[in-house]
Amino acid sequence: MTRAGLPPESIGLVSALTSAGICWCLACGGPMLSHYGPVRTLQIALACIALGLFALLWPFGLLGLLGAVAIGFGAGHNTPAGSQILVRAAPPRHRTLIFSIKQAGVPLGGALAGLMMAPLVLAQGLPAALGTVIGVALLTILLVQPFRGQLDQDRGKGRRDWARALLSLAMLAHSIRTLRAHPSLPLLTILGASFSVLQSCLMAFTATYAITRHGASLAEAGQIVAVMQGASMVGRILLGWLADRMGHALRHLAFQAVASALAVGLLVTLGDRGSWALYGCAALVGVTAIGWNGVHMAELARVAPLPLVGDVTSAASLFGFVGSVCGPLVFTLVVSWSGSYDLAFLLMAGQLALLGLASAAFLRRVN
């Protein structure tokens, strides 16, 4: 932002435009995925990210903001395209585990970026750091090319006017209508949005909570968040394996919603009993409240009609993304009104617990 002559707080505008790009992709990118196939779409997405990062290298504010939209648009393709690949390639008896391993790559990639980028920026400067990321993106485009023929066999079956669909409000309505394609999809979507509300609050406020409520140092707060993130990677794989063994992922998610709320309750009530209790509760929260994504994505892909897997996961992810934006906003309002992080965390956990219990009761009545 300084390079573009903008104040440092303008980074919030970059973040907002990146989020807008993600929403744009999830709402209107379905025809593009159907037309090109998942591998080619991911290659285009990586090219968009590389182009967006390149735009951030130049000292022109407007160009950088457009680059932020391009980065978001590219990032938004990851979930629907990945789901379309895995639902065809993963053996049914291990589908949830494989989806969960894929989702475990998200926090792993974030951790690696955090470990590598800061030293690189300090040693070589921001242009060199962004150039490295651009190089990785372009190299990945080349490395996945040999797999395109095998994994993009259904390409070309979507709309040829996919570019026009990117600017169509009707496409947004169509994307949402795909959630009627199976009776379980509305409940799965609501559960995903509810999980996203709690997860986004945990990711945004746990470090601040540890400092203000438990007197942790800045370094210790960072370590607590790192433990929570690391536990979530393990949790995603463990819970994916467990969901495959249980054989009913939607019921598993309902139980996990309640378990996540209980874990947050333990964090609030036991976190002041020493650093080990705080670390242990943070790990438990990571496993339960942040380890849900793989099971959720696998179940969305399983129940969706095969031609609509990309559209369904896009639409469900869009609602989840809205939850991840609204959750921290509500959390902030609760803290501002009450002065209590404990109350805010319990409210965010409570909405998930109530939905989990309601889902379990509904599933029992249906079955």
pLDDT at 7 over 90: no
Q: What is the pLDDT of residue 323?
A: 87
Which pLDDT does position 9 carry in this prediction?
A: 45
Give the span between the Cα atoms of 199 and 156, in whole angstroms.
37
Confidence of residue 3 (pLDDT cuts 50, 70, 90): low
- Can you say how many angstroms the Cα of residue 141 is from the centroid of all Cα atoms in its chain? 22
Q: What is the pLDDT of residue 294?
A: 87
Q: How many CB atoms lie within 10 A of CB 149?
A: 11
Question: Whole-model pTM?
Answer: 0.81
For 150-162, how does the pLDDT look when each residue is reduced to its tens digit (9 = 90+)?
Answer: 877 766 665 566 7
Give the residue with greater pLDDT, 120 vs 253.
253
- By the 10 Å C-beta count (0-12 exposed, 13-18 middle, 19+ buried), 51 is classed as middle
What confidence tens digit (pLDDT) does each residue in 37-72 have?
A: 889 999 999 999 999 999 888 766 677 788 888 998
What are the distances in angstroms from CA 184 to CA 167, 259, 303, 316, 318? 29, 21, 7, 12, 17
Q: Is 195's pLDDT higher than 90?
A: yes
> Percent of the chain, pLDDT > 90?
25
In tens, the pLDDT along 232-276 reads 988 899 988 888 887 778 888 999 999 999 999 999 998 777 778
> Which domains are seen in the chain, by residue range?
8-153+162-366 (1.20.1250.20)
Name the least confident of 47-51, 196-200, 212-216.
212-216
